[in-house]
C-alpha cells in the first residue's frame, strides 16, 4: 500500500521541507535585521561618545566660560562661586528674569558640562540659581 502512494509521500515530504526552509529563512532574516538595528544603535552611541569626548577633554575653556557668568551678573549677585579643575558649584541670588534666561540659555546650555543639579527658586520678582556641574 505504501508503494501505491509513494509519489504522494515524496511530494508531501518535499512540501514539508519547503515550508520548513521558508520558516527558517524568515526567522534568520528577522534575527539579521534585529542584529543590524542593534549594531546601528551601538555605532551611533559610539559616535556620540567620541564627539562628547572631543568637546569635554580638549576644551580647556570651560572654566573661563563659567567664569564669564560671574562677570555677567556682577559680584553682588554671586553668593557662592567655586570652580575646581573639573567641578563647579555656583549659587546666584537676586537675578531678574532676563538675567536668569541669559545665564541658563547662553552660558550654561552652550557649555559642554554634565549638570548634577540645577535649582531655580523664585522670590517675588527675583530668582535664585544653584548649579552643580562636572566636565
Q: What pLDDT, in 10s, does the model give residues 48-62?
A: 888 877 776 666 788
SS3 call for 102: helix
pLDDT class of 63 with cuts at 50, 70, 90: confident
- Whole-model pTM: value is 0.58
β-strand partners of 126: 123
Residues 75 and 126 in one domain: yes
In this predicted structure, what is the pLDDT of residue 53?
79
Residues across the chain? 135
Residues 90 and 130 in one domain: yes
In this predicted structure, what is the pLDDT of residue 58?
63
pLDDT class of 130 with cuts at 50, 70, 90: very high
Residues 69 and 118 in one domain: yes
Domain extent for 23: 1-58
Percent of the chain with pLDDT strictly greater than 70: 96
Answer for the pair 95, 128: CB distance below 8 angstroms, yes or no: yes
Residues 47 and 72 in one domain: no
* Alpha carbon distances (Å) from 26 to 35, 52, 68: 14, 39, 60
Amino acid at each position: 500500500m505504501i508503494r501505491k502512494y509513494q509519489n504522494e509521500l515524496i511530494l508531501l515530504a518535499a512540501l514539508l521541507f519547503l515550508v520548513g526552509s521558508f520558516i527558517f529563512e524568515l526567522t534568520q532574516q528577522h534575527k539579521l535585521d534585529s542584529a543590524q538595528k542593534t549594531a546601528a544603535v551601538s555605532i551611533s552611541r559610539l559616535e556620540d561618545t567620541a564627539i562628547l569626548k572631543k568637546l569635554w577633554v580638549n576644551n580647556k575653556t570651560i572654566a573661563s566660560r563659567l567664569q564669564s557668568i560671574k562677570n555677567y551678573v556682577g559680584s553682588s549677585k554671586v553668593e557662592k562661586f567655586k570652580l575646581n579643575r573639573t567641578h563647579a558649584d555656583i549659587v546666584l541670588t537676586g537675578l531678574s528674569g532676563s538675567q536668569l534666561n541669559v545665564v541658563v540659555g547662553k552660558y550654561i546650555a552652550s557649555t559642554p558640562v554634565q549638570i548634577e543639579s540645577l535649582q531655580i527658586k523664585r522670590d517675588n520678582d527675583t530668582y535664585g540659581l544653584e548649579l552643580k556641574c562636572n566636565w
